[in-house]
Amino acid sequence: MDWLLDPLSYDFMRQALVASLLVGMLCPVIGTYLIVQRMAMLGDVVAHGVLPGLAIASFFNLPILIGAFTCGLFSTFVITWIRTQSRIKADTAMAITFSTFFSLGITLLTLLGSRVSLEQLLFGDILSINAADVWQIAAIAALVLIGVGLFYKELLFVTFDPLGAEALGLPVHRINIGLMAAITLAIIAGIKTVGVILVVALMIGPAATAYLLVTELHWMMLLGAALGVLFGVVGMYGSYYLDIPSGPAIGLTVFAGFLLALLFSPRQGIVTRRLQRWPMGSR
């Protein structure tokens, strides 16, 4: 048991593990909606869209959370504006917005002489998390998860039948704005742990793994959250014992879990399907 308890003797590891647990639970719940709506790329756009807000907030000594949230949400409005004002499809609008906000963010971080480290933003630094960061992540996680629980039926309806939801009088536009806000908050919570580049892995990877294992949305969310926690904790222990960066360690753990599900899922696994067909072919 020493290998399990030894990392817990350090205060920074305990805080990092709590943060990874919270983010691992939060991100896949939101990522579930992105996957079923076939909008996984949107998470990547918002993750990079918060960079200009981080740079501006840091320069003017404003709360980082406000700057990141405002700019991340604005990036989703830019995507919607491009789609509604032209024949450009969603994937193209997201690619344009992604590259623009990412470039603007790096430019502002350089020109404004931001105190925020670009390397930490891109790859995360979970071991530098303090108690205040943990409480902030916990508050974001509680706010978003309570919101998802309260509006689960509405989100479910809008996700699978937006036209039907609109015909029944549901405020589809406001629900979509709320979902975009939840996505932005989840990404802000995850940036400190795994960074801009890898937060999407934690948001999409566990949810996609759950998608291969279950069929109903609520089970996908619950299993995705459980897998996110597992991947986060395993990644942290791997980072500690292998002496590798924590963010990439969590990202690689997420992929390893997804690969196992892709190969051995009872219903959709590549190896499983071949084994099921093999006796019939041998006859």
CA nearest neighbour of 193 among 258, 245, 118, 255: 245
Give the pLDDT of residue 170.
86
Domain presence at residue 196: yes
Statement: residue 137 has pLDDT above 60: yes
Q: What is the pLDDT of residues 235-278, one digit of tens each?
A: 989 988 998 888 888 889 999 999 999 999 988 889 988 888 77
Residue pLDDT, tens place only, 160-189: 888 888 888 889 889 989 999 999 999 988
How many structural domains comprise the chain? 1
Say if 150 falls within a structural domain.
Answer: yes
| Residue range(s) defining the domain that contains residue 139 | 2-277
What's the pLDDT score for residue 222?
Answer: 95
Q: What pTM was estimated for this model as a whole?
A: 0.87
Instruction: State how far the Cα of 9 lies from the Cα of 155, in Å rounded to an integer.
Output: 42
For residue 248, what are the CA distances in angstroms to 65, 228, 258? 24, 14, 15
Say what percent of the chain tops pLDDT 90.
36
* pLDDT averaged over every residue in the chain: 87
At 114, the pLDDT band (50, 70, 90 cuts) reads low
Q: Note the pLDDT of residue 128.
A: 78
Nearest Cα residue to 189 out of 141, 243, 157, 235 = 141
Looking at the predicted structure, is the pLDDT value of residue 233 above 80?
A: yes
CATH number of the domain that 52 lies in?
1.10.3470.10
Indicate if the pLDDT at residue 57 is higher than 80: yes
| Residue 195 within any structural domain of the chain | yes
Structure tokens of 41? 């790329």
Position 169 scores a pLDDT of 86
DSSP 116: S
In a domain, 216, yes or no: yes
Q: Is the pLDDT of residue 283 over 60?
A: no
Q: What pLDDT, on the 0 to 100 scale, is given for residue 5?
A: 77
So what's the pLDDT on residue 258? 96
Residue 150, phi then psi, degrees to nearest 5: -70, -35
Whether residue 146 lies inside any domain: the answer is: yes
Domain contains 134: yes
Q: What is the DSSP letter of 87?
A: S
